[in-house]
Structure 1
């Protein structure tokens, strides 16, 4: 997650206590639109069909021009290069589902483990920014479909297994994801992503003492993990360990100069 996502999550802690998968940028497609999922490579959708959020006329023209070239391109290498370009431009614009769509088109054109991984990670990125249940479910399924292909070839990729696990947490079978995270920690007790996500899940379920234990482990191994340091402070605060919370928030203050993060930390300190 990026720094600005920390800010959103900080606000979420203070306001509604939802600490995971709160998007920095809402992917703002029409509800129920399955154009990104259903379009075949040969009918790559126009830009205006993929998003109803405002986009400059110049950017729209550029993206539509490249999409048209992609639609008519028969050379595989050139097709993939165009798809990568569109994915990069959409990522820069914060349109993560569209970026993932074009990464998928490249993976369908050139079926390699590297392309599966890129498509899966792109869909996971879109998944972490999606808000509606329908989009979350769709993007989670896409993530699993590609990352599991990679894991079948290379089961040691715990970084990818962690991402797959997290897609199950928001599904109808969340325990499958939690079980996978536990398996990862059994294999690698210091796995940064797994420790972080288990801590967040403990917070989400109101188990703040357990969350504090997870984040204590995390920052012991990864002291520069700002999110872990911050959430450790929140966990102490919520579990009424005020002295520890104060010390921890002061630690966070020494780690960043971001004004919004510092303001959020100060708000906790004022409440202690």
Structure 2
């Protein structure tokens, strides 16, 4: 979920109709071809590894936790087989405790390579997706997105009926492949099977905003807030209402977003939006 500052930035982008959120579909399809692509086998040559992302992540946690993690990592380097799997599972818990999804993604990826289980590949995809979402380093975001696609594809291969894996793969293809419509097709498949699926509806809603199909975005985000209301979804719902001139609905949704977020920075932005809509 976006934090308050990120929501405000997205808000400005939506209002100005200038950034990724409202980029035409052709812009997504014509992204630089070096961006993530499905069905690639380039993971081994990536500039990012568990070791490199671990060192980056350690810089933002306290020294005691960093030392604990380093100690386990040292044992992992020497371990093999089941012992290595157990140590990696301990390591992923440590990173989960400090809410660092990027190292978790690489650990689950390694676990899945050692023991190719559906659960490991799914968790790798989820962690990579969490890592690239709102990632400021665009090069890292592209690589994490590619890793997410690969992990979700492996998960779908192991369980073709998993809506979670299909949702993740669909979302990752939309944001990080040269064929976003393949991702949209997967997400539509998910909502056909599960009309109230929050993640699939949210991603489809964002894609609708990006393609300026605000009426479709409204239906998607109405479903999301009905099942799992959050400040971000109400904000996107309000923005979509505003874009098609439904001022009263937009004000009501903005107020809900403000109420749930309970954050001064976002509240100030929403107050300005409501004031403008009330004129």
Question: What is the rounded CA distance, in whole Å, between the counterparts of 2:46 and 2:243 in structure 1?
Answer: 40
Equivalent of residue 70 in structure 2, options 64, 67, 72: 64
**Contact in 2 for aligned 1:100/1:123 (Cα 8 Å):** yes
- How many angstroms does 1:255 deviate by? 4.1
> Residue 85 of structure 1 is aligned with which of 86, 90, 110?
90
Q: 1:94 to 1:208 in 2, by over 3 A?
A: same
Distance in structure 2 (CA, Å) of the matches to 1:19 and 1:184: 24
Is the Cα–Cα contact under 8 Å of residues 230 and 260 in structure 2 kept in the other structure?
Answer: no
> After the TM superposition, which residues 93-104 of structure 1 pair with which residues of structure 2 at under 5 Å, given as runs?
93=98, 95-104=100-109
1:110 and 2:115 are equivalent in the alignment: yes
The CA deviation at 1:207 is 2.9
Show structure 1 runs of 5+ residues with no match.
21-31, 38-43
Deviation at 1:92, TM superposition (A): 4.4
Give 1:71 deviation, angstroms.
Answer: 0.7
Distance 1:93 1:213, change over 3 A: same
2: CA distance between counterparts of 1:46 and 1:192? 30
Contact 2:132/2:144, CA 8 A, preserved across alignment: yes
CA gap 1:247/1:74 in 2 versus in 1, 3 angstroms? closer
Answer whether contact 2:214 2:241 (CA < 8 A) is retained. yes
1:168–1:174 Cα contact (<8 Å) kept: yes
TM-score (norm 2): 0.75
Report if the CA contact (8 A) 1:10-1:264 is conserved: no
1:83–1:102 CA contact under 8 A, matched in 2: yes
State the partner residue of 1:40. none
Higher relative contact order (CA 8 A, sep 6+): 2
Shift of 1:204: 2.1
Judged with a 3 Å threshold, the aligned counterparts in structure 2 of structure 1 residues 129 and 106 are, in CA distance, closer, same or farther, namely farther
Question: Cα distance 1:100–1:244, how it changes in 2: closer, same or farther (>3 A)?
Answer: same
2:143 pairs with 1:130: no
Alignment correspondent of 2:207: 201
Distance between the aligned counterparts of 1:207 and 1:224, measured in 2?
A: 22
Pairing 1:181–2:187 present = yes
Number of residue pairs the alignment of both structures matches:
249
CA contact (8 A) 1:47 1:60 kept: no
TM-aligned CA deviation for residue 72 of structure 1: 1.0
In the alignment, which residue of structure 2 is the partner of 1:14?
Answer: 11
Is residue 198–residue 228 contact of structure 2 (8 Å, CA) maintained in 1? no
Tell me how large the CA RMSD over aligned residues is. Answer: 3.0
Q: Any conservation in 1 of the 2:198–2:223 contact (CA below 8 Å)?
A: no
Asked if structure 2 preserves the Cα contact closer than 8 Å seen for 1:63 and 1:86, the reply is yes
Match of 1:189, SS state, is coil
> Which stretch of structure 1 is more off in the superposition, 188-197 or 128-137?
128-137
